[in-house]
Structure 1
Amino acid sequence: MNLSEEWADPDRVRRYRRRVFGEREEIVSALAEARGQQQRVLRELTEFNAGTEYGRAHGFDSVRDLSDLRKAVPINDYAALGPSIERMAAGESNVLSADDPAVYFTSSGTTGAHKKVPVTPSFMRRTFFPFYYAAWAPLIEHFPDVLARPDAVLNLKHDPLSAPPTTASGRPHVGASQVDFGAKFGEPLSAEPGTGAPWGTLPVPVEAHEHLEKAYLRLRLAVTSDVRCVIGINPAMVAALPYQLRLWWPRLVKEIHDGTLGGLHRTDPDPERARELERLAHHFGTIRPAHVWPHMRALFCWTTGMASLYLPRLREEFGPGVATLPAPVAASEGPVGVALDRHTSACSLTVGASVYEFLDADDDIRPDAETLAWDELEAGRDYHVVFSHIGGLYRYAVGDVVRVVDRVDGVPRVEYAGRATRSDAAGERLRDAQVLRALAAVARSTGLDVRNAACRVVGADGSAPSYEFALAPYGAWSPAETTRFAALLDTAIGGESGDYRTARSEGRLGALTVGLLDEDAFLADWHTAVATGIRPTQVKDRLFRQDPALWERLTGAARPVGEGQA
């Protein structure tokens, strides 16, 4: 039975719903005994991996509690564990984990280098699958019609490969969305909503690296279906969809009329649907997802970070009343939190999956840095995430910053705040989250909508460096509005960051400038990046962009038109 047939089987859908809601209940129950759950996870991971090279070197057989773990193991990052991971990828066993990785997830770091994240069967069973299934619970509970038909969901991240790249030991080295979890880990219910759609496996040949063509072909097939939900995880992929509709519109309509797919006859001609789409385009002028899919119900993606600026307007493109449901706070290396209700951003810690530690986001991540436990966190503050799990990552600083939203059953709920990367030209130590909160505050106070933003440090002729912002606005801004926005943004960033405020007051940083780009500049730039062969899931919104070539590609001839005030 193929995926389309599986998702059309009512019994399969019932079993899937039971699994999803059952895993959510387990996570909810774990919150009430979070301290015991964290102790259990620590005991299991140290006992299971005590005989590994890493476990022996760090005395896992003597670790009894978090205090012992802190003494025995330094805080690690990928660079620290990378040599061991490379040995595992070459075929060595019992290095970091007692069971061999079955696959390696690929993940692009801040440098763009592809990591090899080891994925063991124990990790999948104890850490990954519980949060993975539970993540879909709010969607299918409150919008059950997304499971009514295999083609009710457009899953933008699903990208199966027939011949995946491998490590030296022959293990697949792919994105998480490219792994058949049923075949690889014995999880027949693990296929996501939308994977059984006609575009789940493309019926025409296309090169693995031709990601834009694959996106076009999926959209070509989806335009003839009654899509109710879009799954993107990476919100930049969802934001690109309205742009792609406009960009590819003539080709889409022609191929629907002719019954072709990528120029090949693979579907029945549908001149009636083509005429309907042409009437919609003529009537509305600008075609939007809401016109093509009038029964759209929900978008499923990360809702914080840069997306918090553009999601409110993006929802309008998909139709009135469309909900945005948050994807989990997670990385390729492991989960942090999962949404258990319809809150637009808050995710409860998966206390039964990993041992969690945190550092204040303004502190440096050092091997010997003092960490906080989950019960020591404060609402409204930002923290670096450090986790340990049975899959072989111990006290691993994942490079993400989370913000504590509130607590449920005494356990913090967190939202993704940004990358841990700092911009530091003059001691300002500026983080993503600080700038994004400042941008959002100024947008609210001025009534000016920001579609996307990037910034870099500039300085010449011995003058103090300053920040240059490139903004894509919604609608036209007057020069006066832009100048005022820049001044307010300068002040707002100082309000978020004492180091920035001090650097400005001492003259170590000059006033920031703002340049306005075309509304579609970031979308066009995203397409250009994807066209180079980077998977769409990995082309994410990036605020700090210091590379001159990438800045020029984004901004073109944009010029600053407003300056902040001291």
Structure 2
Amino acid sequence: MNSVEPWSDPGRVERYRSRVFAERARLRAAFADPAGHQQRVLEDLLAFNADTAYGRAHGFARIRTLDDWRKAVPVQDYSALAPWIERAAAGEDNVLTADKPAVFFTSSGSTGAHKKIPVTPRFMRTTFFPFYYAAWAPLIEHFPDVLARPDAVLNLKHDPIAAPPVTASGRPHVGASQVDFGSRFGEPLSAEPGTGAPWATLPVAVDAGAHLDKMYLRLRMAVESDVRCVIGINPAMVAALPYQLNLWWPRILKDIRDGTLDGQPGLLPNPQRALELQQLTRCHATIRPAHIWPNMRALFCWTTGLASLYLPRLREEFGPGVTLLPAPVAASEGPTGVALDRHPTAGSLVVTASVYEFADADQDLTPDTHTLQPHELEPGRDYHAIFSHVGGLYRYAVGDVVRVVDSEEGVPRLAYTGRNTLSNAAGERLRDAHVLRALTAALAGGGLELRNAACRVRQDGRGAPAYEFALAPHTPWTDDETDRFLGRLDRALGDESPGYRRARAERRLGSPTALRLPADAFARDWQESVAAGIRPTQVKDRLFRQDPAQWRRLTGRTPE
């Protein structure tokens, strides 16, 4: 099996660029006949997996059309497919797919429980790799210098692991960023930008679960390089970087001066660089990435959801003119949209990857939920994303809600708006997207900014449920500003959700309240979550936080 081509190979960059642009061109060409490609994806998954246990149980051999598919297979989430997946993870062949899963991706989902997502060679070849390569096209097309040197990119999500945990059948059960696609799937060009940097493979031994130690060492080494791009995918990882720089700054300076890695010998002393960095401390009370990497060009991560509240200011931390490029609308289970240009939030539906169906986001998903095809979607509306692909996930409700931004070349462009989890204490049926849009409107109405926000349901003085918001303002708010903000937020939530408006009018739901937190509260909370053993890629922004321990850790207050 081919291994990954090293970034130090002189021809590697050109071969990589050619593959990336070719995959984008193929996807764009497919937009000329999206319905035809959707039918071909359906025919392929049916033919390939007809003789599996799942295929026989659901009559794959008799299915010809999307209507047949809808009648034969229910809309389902992970819990519904879990018994089938567990059989495959235990080593049984031909359960969901004719291909044997080569690896099982982890996914934390909204509950924090680790899923086992079966990943087969056929899925990678037909569904994953085409969108995966195309996703990098805007970055390397417009910022070619990020590929000029292996250390020009700080890839925060890259986390190779020598001895991965395995399923009962011995297959690796890891995150996508921990898999060597070259050796596992024969894709020698698959390594992402930044994976050839000196810190990609740490020169000292670190326990696999010591995530903060690994992050420190990579950051300490990257501070000595001229980094041009940061890749995070999960924007919370990018937001944590400025906090970590200041938290670890004295330790970083000492290590650079001494040539050590957290006190251990490993690199050459660099007193000149240490002196340059020390000068920054004399000039700036807060060290920013822009001070250390003045040639920074781009950040690559999700740009919607809660990140839309803080990314504009976060971008300034990395330097004037730094571009935000959106990572794909995708999950461990599969892709939905990928940005093929520099659109700030949305990606085109990957019509060649899966059979896509959608359902109105305000309705509850059931096995027989009425679904829409891509051409039936309306701009400005929110939808549950449901997909089926050859890798064994059939009519799978991934749990993400997407918003149709517009249509390009006859194909909808989609932005992720949040999870489909409902908060429904008094019939208000609030989703992430409702609260985020209300927050955005309430902030704009007073010229206010937040670094991040979360909320929970509490009991007000009358014993009625009410929403309490934990807010980390960018700059301090006065009491008057906070009160006015809460009034605007209350009205905006009513505009977003008729159920919220009725519940407030009937006094079944109390008025919202706020806890103003220090500016770094969410960064500290993120850091503590990683310190507790959660992989950084899985510590994501969460709006609804009903768990008392999580609320106490974030706010420092015990919920009533």
- Partner of 2:325 in structure 1? 325
Offset from partner CA, 1:491-521 (integer Å, 9 cap, x none): 1111111111111111110100011000000
Determine if contact 1:515/1:558 at 8 Å carries over to the other structure: no
3-state SS of 1:393 partner? coil
Paired with 2:471 and 2:184, the residues of 1 have a C-alpha distance of 44
Aligned pairs (5 A) from 1:382-401: 382-401=382-401
CA drift at 1:32:
1.2
Paired with 1:78 and 1:185, the residues of 2 have a C-alpha distance of 25
- Partner of 1:67 in structure 2? 67
3-state SS of 1:198 partner? coil
Offset from partner CA, 1:16-39 (integer Å, 9 cap, x none): 000000000011111111010000
Paired with 1:461 and 1:543, the residues of 2 have a C-alpha distance of 24
- Partner of 2:126 in structure 1? 126
- Seen in structure 2, the aligned counterparts of structure 1 residues 238 and 500 have a Cα distance that, compared at 3 Å, is same
Determine if contact 2:290/2:319 at 8 Å carries over to the other structure: yes
Paired with 2:558 and 2:333, the residues of 1 have a C-alpha distance of 38
Paired with 1:338 and 1:433, the residues of 2 have a C-alpha distance of 20
Aligned pairs (5 A) from 1:159-238: 159-238=159-238
The one-letter code sitting in structure 1 at the alignment partner of 2:50 is: A
CA drift at 1:186:
0.2
| Percent identity (aligned) | 70
3-state SS of 2:68 partner? helix
The one-letter code sitting in structure 1 at the alignment partner of 2:522 is: F
3-state SS of 1:7 partner? coil
3-state SS of 1:416 partner? strand
Q: Report the TM-score when normalising by structure 2.
A: 0.98
3-state SS of 1:398 partner? strand
What is the aligned residue count? 559
Offset from partner CA, 1:231-277 (integer Å, 9 cap, x none): 00000000000000000000000000000012111111111111100
- Partner of 2:479 in structure 1? 479
Determine if contact 2:105/2:332 at 8 Å carries over to the other structure: yes
1:521 pairs with 2:511: no
- Partner of 2:407 in structure 1? 407
Paired with 1:5 and 1:543, the residues of 2 have a C-alpha distance of 40
Aligned pairs (5 A) from 1:124-163: 124-163=124-163
Offset from partner CA, 1:468-493 (integer Å, 9 cap, x none): 00000001111100111111111111
- Partner of 2:47 in structure 1? 47
CA drift at 1:462:
5.8
- Partner of 1:25 in structure 2? 25
Structure 1: gaps (5+ residues): 561-566
Determine if contact 2:4/2:189 at 8 Å carries over to the other structure: no
Determine if contact 2:4/2:183 at 8 Å carries over to the other structure: no
Offset from partner CA, 1:364-406 (integer Å, 9 cap, x none): 0100111011011000000000000000000000000000000
The one-letter code sitting in structure 2 at the alignment partner of 1:379 is: P
Structure 2: gaps (5+ residues): none
Paired with 2:40 and 2:445, the residues of 1 have a C-alpha distance of 47
- Seen in structure 2, the aligned counterparts of structure 1 residues 90 and 487 have a Cα distance that, compared at 3 Å, is same
3-state SS of 1:476 partner? coil
Determine if contact 1:380/1:404 at 8 Å carries over to the other structure: yes
- Partner of 1:338 in structure 2? 338
The one-letter code sitting in structure 2 at the alignment partner of 1:473 is: P
Offset from partner CA, 1:143-193 (integer Å, 9 cap, x none): 000000000000000000000000000000000000000000000000000
CA drift at 1:9:
2.4
Which stretch of structure 1 is more off in the superposition, 551-560 or 52-61? 551-560
Which stretch of structure 1 is more off in the superposition, 549-558 or 265-274? 549-558
Q: Report the TM-score when normalising by structure 1.
A: 0.97
The one-letter code sitting in structure 1 at the alignment partner of 2:151 is: D
CA drift at 1:557:
4.4
CA drift at 1:445:
1.8
CA drift at 1:10:
2.9
CA drift at 1:282:
1.1
The one-letter code sitting in structure 2 at the alignment partner of 1:183 is: S
3-state SS of 2:395 partner? strand
The one-letter code sitting in structure 1 at the alignment partner of 2:249 is: W
Paired with 2:281 and 2:25, the residues of 1 have a C-alpha distance of 45
Determine if contact 2:134/2:340 at 8 Å carries over to the other structure: yes
- Seen in structure 2, the aligned counterparts of structure 1 residues 5 and 277 have a Cα distance that, compared at 3 Å, is farther
- Partner of 2:497 in structure 1? 497
CA drift at 1:135:
0.5
- Partner of 2:542 in structure 1? 542
Paired with 1:351 and 1:394, the residues of 2 have a C-alpha distance of 16
3-state SS of 2:445 partner? helix
Paired with 1:79 and 1:124, the residues of 2 have a C-alpha distance of 23
1:7 pairs with 2:14: no
Paired with 1:462 and 1:395, the residues of 2 have a C-alpha distance of 44
Paired with 1:475 and 1:227, the residues of 2 have a C-alpha distance of 29
The one-letter code sitting in structure 2 at the alignment partner of 1:422 is: L
Determine if contact 1:517/1:558 at 8 Å carries over to the other structure: no
Determine if contact 1:385/1:398 at 8 Å carries over to the other structure: yes
